[in-house]
A and B are shown apart, each in its own frame.
Chain A
């Protein structure tokens, strides 16, 4: 059992020596924005689906929801397919440049809540 514990410890210790960066959660809810434009890329993946949207000013990375929630709310991969026009209401990241987290998105006149 000691060996097992030691091995687990080693495995868990390895990732510690890394530069500081962030994960999820740092979004400026006090300053909501709407990003609108065509979808350029789609990653329909967990833990959160991601799209990039070519807005008027720049290309935004828009963080959506876990894929199972997307599915159950009526936003399967086809709904956010590359080339579709999307309007995403949400909050800009305070950490990552040009990234926002969508509260809701509208595609083809249909709005889906993502929270």
Chain B
């Protein structure tokens, strides 16, 4: 534990939950595996959703692809947050101070803001656009941004261990 870390992180790392995760023979491992499985659910849905926004699967009306994919992505993100919290809490002071983790956390915020903004701005376009009709440029931009942010986030996640 780092004693010069913020109090809230020290308290988190010293909590009974954090101790239980560290001392259990399976909890940390399970959270680690769960985080990767959740990532597969999340990123596969994101790729399908963004691919549609970029013009793939044009035979399907965009809303028929984007809506369900977005719900599944939200579920994946929720599972990632839950497992990620377990991994984080076990060594909160070290991880929070890790520069790559800080970049990752900022990217997650950006990714979610982008998703919320796209959901808000593109709502009408999604509803009105039919199969084979082009989507607004904003949809393509948001999809490119989304893919860039989330792939960078995943890369950062793996890189935390090396910095």
Residues of chain A at the chain B interface (Cβ within 8 Å): 1-2, 4-6, 8-9, 11-13, 15-16, 18-26, 43-47, 66-68, 71
Contacts and interface: CB of A to CB of B under 8 A. Distances in A.
Given A4-B78, A8-B77, A23-B98, A15 B105 contact: yes
A104 to B, nearest CB: 21
A48 to B, nearest CB: 9
A18 B97 contact: yes
Contacts of A2: 116, 119
B74 A1 contact: yes
8 contacts: A1-B70, A5-B116, A8-B112, A15-B9, A19-B5, A21-B94, A23-B97, A23-B163
B40 interface: no
B6 interface: yes
Given A9-B108, A12-B105, A26-B163, A47 B98 contact: no
A4 to B, nearest CB: 6
B27 interface: yes
A44 B22 CA distance: 8
Interface in B20-42: 21-29
A58 B127 CA distance: 68
B88 A24 contact: no
A18 B96 contact: yes
A44 B70 CA distance: 41
Contacts, number: 108
A11 B81 CA distance: 8
A43 B161 CA distance: 20
Interface of B: 2, 4-6, 9, 21-29, 70-71, 74, 77-78, 81, 84-85, 88, 90-102, 105-106, 108-109, 112-113, 115-116, 119, 160-163
Contacts of A44: 23
Contacts of A16: 102, 105-106, 109
B163 A66 contact: no
A56 to B, nearest CB: 27
Contacts of A46: 21-24, 27-29, 90
A11 B5 contact: no
Given A6-B116, A46-B28, A47-B91, A11 B85 contact: yes
Contact of A22 (B77, B78, B97, B113): B97
B105 A20 contact: no
Contacts of B97: 18-23
A2 B119 CA distance: 9
A108 B161 CA distance: 32
A24 B23 CA distance: 19
